[in-house]
Amino acid sequence: MKLAALGRFVVIVALAAVAGCSTTVTRVPTEEQIDLSGRWNDTDSQQAAQALVDQSTATPWIENHLATTGKKPAIIIGTIRNKTPEHIAVKTLVADLERSFINSGRVTVVASAEERDEIRGEREDQQRFATEDSAKAWGRERGADFMLIGEINSQFDAEDGKEVKFYQVDCYLVDLESNVKVWTGYTKIKKFVGRSTYRP
């Protein structure tokens, strides 16, 4: 009898522990800004990309290229190096940069090296399996005129449960033929993180 009662008590305690550790999930709009830890997040990526593209498309290099060639410049997003101690999803920043450049309507964005490999594989298959009038020809890719490269740096300062996080994203547009930097820009993000301390 005592063993049965003890067994029931253990089950009740276990169920109470599980109930106390339950997780609740609430869906929120994807555009809502949520900062839990102060680390680099999706909002930072979107804001940095938009700021850099706005700076870039407001400077004379586009008009200079148009005047020289009569065509919108074609750009490719190169390597954005993460030089911070944090893990940053750089591919998300690259995608945000591409999206902002395309949506600006001022430049043409060409596929990355990784994407081109996949596209070329499909084009090769078309030569073998697609009809002659629908197969896409080789040698007609649009070459990029400029490459965007850059890096993310950070500085952190902390004391007494408070922390300031500073990020700077520097980017450069380089002429692929001459290696001349036609534009350089940067954007900064600064966050204050206050952490409560437990006092018994």
- Contact indicator for 164, 147 with CB cutoff of 8 Å: no
The domain made up of 38-194 has a fold known as Rossmann fold (3.40.50)
> Are 131 and 62 within 8 A, CB to CB?
no
Condensed to tens digits (0 to 9), the pLDDT of residues 79-138 reads: 999 999 999 999 999 999 999 999 999 999 999 999 999 999 999 999 999 999 999 999
Cα separation of 200 and 198, whole Å? Answer: 6
Q: Where are the domains of the chain?
A: 38-194
In the predicted structure, residue 187 carries a pLDDT above the cut 80? yes
Residue environment code for 172-198, b if the CB has 16+ CB neighbours within 10 A, otherwise e: bbbeeeeeeebbebbbebebebeeeee
Judged against a pLDDT cut of 90, whether residue 12 lies above it is answered with no
On the question of pLDDT at 78 being above 80, the answer is yes
For the cut 90, the answer to whether the pLDDT of residue 8 exceeds it is no
pLDDT reading at 14 higher than 80:
no
Q: What is the mean pLDDT of the chain?
A: 88
Higher pLDDT, 176 or 23: 176
